[in-house]
Amino acid sequence: MTDEKLLALCEKYGRRALIWRRKFTGLLPEVNRRRLYERRGCESIFEFAYKTAGLSEQQVRRALNLSYEFRDKPTLHALLTNGSVGMSKLARVASIATTENEVELAEKVRLLPQKALETLARDERFLKEQNASPKPLFEEKSVRAHTTFELSAEVQTQLNALHAQGQDVNAILMELLQKRREEIAQKKQELAGQPTQSRHIPAAAKRLLQEEFGQKCSIRTCTRPATEIHHTQRFALAGTHDPHYLAPLCKSHHQIAHTIDQKVQRHLSG
């Protein structure tokens, strides 16, 4: 047997072992409910799981807790019991799961990696803490300043001097900010609607996005660096790189955005 074939078999059997381990773990809450472990001479579900599949007490407790969390959420509960996804991914969304959103969450759990699910859960918790209603991912109000900052000593000196002259410093700053917004809007308009066959985003559009959003992800709950540029208006449909419909995103928010795209596309095609 060649090295390549041996490694391929290891990967194949490893994947199968992972799937069957998930399926076994998903059965444990019902085994515990029926106390079936006693039929195998075990004093607890923890002893049964360890002797049968080598699961730790922590893993078993997680399965039991998730089963309880999802007792009124049948779609998520089914993912646990049939072993479709791992418990780690389900645990990421347990704190934000409701009877109203569980079907949509289940779809995201199947599609998104753990890191993106962590980001999704953090965003939902932030909105809940702020008593804010959910907003579209790319709505203008979903963008916010990422961090607080301090003015340099030179800027503070000049502002203090203007204030000492009786100037309205706030009005001056607001005027400068308004001018900046208008300049960005004008640049966007100049780049908008230009049809192209290339999927590569023009350098001018990238520079404009960096001018508008800086280096960070444009989602308001995120402080990670932007690594992707997402078309909020699908390029395949629009055929343009209109900066009005481009959003710089971190990797996790880009993955979340694509799950939204897939849901919309299924709705349109259905």
Residue 117 within a domain: no
Q: Which tokens belong to 156?
A: 């503070």
Is residue 196 domain-shared with residue 105, that is, in the same domain? Answer: no
Range of the domain at 66: 3-109
- Averages of pLDDT over each 10 residues, the chain, 270 residues: 90 89 93 95 95 94 95 95 91 93 93 92 82 55 54 91 92 93 90 77 89 88 88 72 88 87 47
Q: Which tokens belong to 149?
A: 């900052």
So what's the pLDDT on residue 24?
94
Residue 125 within a domain: no
Provide the number of structural domains found in the chain. Answer: 2
Is residue 256 domain-shared with residue 166, that is, in the same domain? Answer: yes
Residue 147 within a domain: no
Is residue 64 domain-shared with residue 170, that is, in the same domain? Answer: no
Q: Report pTM.
A: 0.71
Residue 145 within a domain: no
Q: Which tokens belong to 55?
A: 């699961």
Residue 80 within a domain: yes
So what's the pLDDT on residue 142?
47
Residue 9 within a domain: yes
Measured in whole angstroms, the distance separating CA 129 from the mean position of its chain's CA atoms is: 18
So what's the pLDDT on residue 137?
55
Domain boundary among 40, 75, 109: 109
Q: Are residues 214 and 143 in contact, defined by beta-carbon separation less than 8 angstroms?
A: no
Q: Are residues 121 and 95 in contact, defined by beta-carbon separation less than 8 angstroms?
A: yes
Is residue 95 domain-shared with residue 166, that is, in the same domain? Answer: no
Residue (of 261, 18, 219, 16) closest to 123 by Cα position: 219
Is residue 10 domain-shared with residue 93, that is, in the same domain? Answer: yes
Q: Are residues 159 and 131 in contact, defined by beta-carbon separation less than 8 angstroms?
A: no
Q: Are residues 69 and 97 in contact, defined by beta-carbon separation less than 8 angstroms?
A: yes
Residue 59 within a domain: yes
Residue 133 within a domain: no
So what's the pLDDT on residue 141?
43
Q: What angle do CA 172, 173, 178 make, to 5 degrees?
A: 100
Is residue 77 domain-shared with residue 165, that is, in the same domain? Answer: no
Cβ atoms within 10 Å, residue 56? 11
So what's the pLDDT on residue 269?
40
Is residue 87 domain-shared with residue 173, that is, in the same domain? Answer: no
Is residue 169 domain-shared with residue 262, that is, in the same domain? Answer: yes
Is residue 91 domain-shared with residue 36, that is, in the same domain? Answer: yes
Domain boundary among 47, 75, 109: 109
